[in-house]
Chain A
Amino acid sequence: MKADPKGVLTGAHFLDGDHACCEGALSAGCRFVAGYPITPSTEVVERIAARFPSVGGMFIQMEDEIASSIAIQGAVWGGAKAMTVTSGPGLSLMMEHVGLAAMLETPCVFVDVQRSGPSTGLPTMPAQGDMMQARWGSHGDYEIIALCPNSPQECYDLTIAAFNLAEEYRVPVMLMMDECVGHMTEKVIIPKAEDIEVTPRRYTTQKPGKYLPYQAGRSEIPLMVKAGDGYLFHVTGLTHDERGYPAMNAEAHDRCVRRLVEKIRNNARRIIRLEETDTADAEVVVVSYGITSRVAGKAIQMARADGLKVGHLRLITAWPFPEKRLRTLASHVKAFVLPELNFGQMFLELQRVIEGKSSCYPVPHAGGTVHEPEAIYQRILYAARHSRLKDKKEVAR
């Protein structure tokens, strides 16, 4: 389906990432946002509050983040596309309802413009410290999708992608921005509405009385109904059967949770987006995401100027993590270097996946600013000098 031209501000703009995110939401067909404004995400909802009413949308400044994260789910079950916008301290409060969205299979988007934590930390400065929280923050087993833009253009593009993925897999999708990308202003091209692909909600064609809200079929993703269309249905955070009614036993729980996990794991190949540069003959591969991918790009240029064979793998989707691709790379790469604005969150995942087949070096940073390219460059040099393919074969044996 094509985008509704009403919300699409076609043209070339000079926008910051926060404003670009608002425009992405409008292009994607989002018409309901509830939030509790927080630096550095405030400009997203500032623009939303100004823009949404003019296209028949609504913004509500809620009493807190807990309320925001449930209001959007009410809006979704009422037929709207909806999102909430926050930063780390707010995301912590929203965690209960991230789990609820996963359990109810509510397609919705959580935008997190990351700032340095823990707690209220550095409100006006960047970090990437919420990556594990985005994945594991709510209790119980579930899967989410997380996207990491590295420019205002991608804040626009990936907000649309987030809504499309949310609809396709009926999951909460986390847009993991950061203060630097959110407050950075660059050119943003917004295409014509007819060139923007938007995934519509998939509604049942079953008649009321026949419809089972959690009957998934082979696709693993059940079809929805809209409240008010004459269907009597029930959704609950309790473990439920296909009717949506609580089913308090281990068998029902296994069926319910297994599907929440497998619908993402089994489709990981289709969901994952990567950007790879010069990985084919690389001895060292830098794995990065978000703003750090640009700083890493600079460091890689410096290393290549020294004649080192350095590749770059940028995670556009951080979750699901590209396990297969990294395992394949580990079979011919001496070492991986992973810079991030935290003390090693995605690095843990990389280590787990590589299983010791290659050397792995983190470039940790507490946040507050971005890395010095020199720090990443030095790590690349160290990795190139100190990791040997021979060692790797020994490990493989």
Chain B
Amino acid sequence: MSATEIKFAGLGGQGVILAGIIIGRAASIYENKYATLTQSFGPEARGSACSAQVILSDEKILYPYVTRPEILMALSQEAFNKFLPETRDNAIVIIEEELVRPKGLKSGMKVFGIPATRLAEELGRKMILNIVMVGFFTAVTRLIDYEAVKEAVKASVPHGTEHMNLRAYERGYEYGQALL
């Protein structure tokens, strides 16, 4: 794997930064790759567009920012609209399909959609939609090993919520597997 640039975007409060942290942690701690995460800082704490940028690589990462994402994960229409233009023509675009209408896609793009919020609600908590997305991401990108991400989910969520979050992770992963 050479360097892969990924953008996780959505609304503040949806857990997009944590989704990025889990993927970065899985790659760097549980797979011994290099991962660098940067995030947008501004008045976006709750409710407006926010994003995490992750670079994964087999080699040391020098330039820290994502400029042309090869993977875009969008959890809101605003985030999708904002970041689609900078996303590469042949990118993988992963969306929360009930929140994002993928308009204006470039011809080489591959889109994978999942009703993550509804699946999270079915599992008992809307909040865990980001973990459903992480599972889905793991299945459709095949960038990082299933087990590595699972370990990273366990290490990243609050104590006492591991079980519920792992169910969310598995649900998203299965949904992605079924699409392939």
A interface, CB within 8 angstroms of B: 12-14, 39-40, 124-125, 179-180, 183-187, 291, 294-295, 297-298, 301, 369-370, 373
Contacts and interface: CB of A to CB of B under 8 A. Distances in A.
Interface of A is mostly: mixed
Contacts of B25: 14
Interface of B: 21, 24-25, 28-29, 34-39, 41-42, 61-65
Given A14-B35, A295-B62, A297-B62, 15 more contacts: A12-B28, A14-B29, A39-B41, A40-B41, A179-B41, A184-B36, A184-B37, A186-B28, A186-B36, A186-B37, A187-B34, A294-B62, A298-B63, A370-B63, A370-B64
Contacts of B63: 294-295, 298, 370, 373
B41 A183 contact: yes
B148 to A, nearest CB: 12
B62 A185 contact: no
Contacts of B24: 14, 185-186
A298 B62 contact: yes
Nearest to B39: A183
Given A14-B35, A186-B35, A291 B28 contact: no
B64 A187 contact: no
Nearest to A373: B63
A14 B39 contact: no
A159 to B, nearest CB: 20
Contacts of B65: 369-370
A370 B65 CA distance: 9
A370 B36 CA distance: 15
A158 B80 CA distance: 39
* Most interface-central of B28, B35, B36, B63 (chain A CB within 10 A): B63
A184 B64 contact: yes
A11 B28 CA distance: 13
A73 B104 CA distance: 60
A187 B30 CA distance: 11
A70 B21 CA distance: 37
A180 B36 CA distance: 11
A150 B29 CA distance: 20
A14 B21 contact: yes
Contacts of A373: 63
A185 B21 contact: yes
24 contacts: A12-B28, A12-B29, A14-B28, A14-B37, A40-B41, A124-B41, A180-B64, A183-B38, A183-B41, A184-B37, A184-B38, A184-B64, A185-B37, A185-B38, A186-B24, A186-B37, A186-B61, A291-B64, A294-B61, A294-B62, A294-B64, A298-B62, A298-B63, A373-B63
B7 to A, nearest CB: 15
Contacts of A39: 41
B19 to A, nearest CB: 13
B149 to A, nearest CB: 13
Nearest to A291: B64
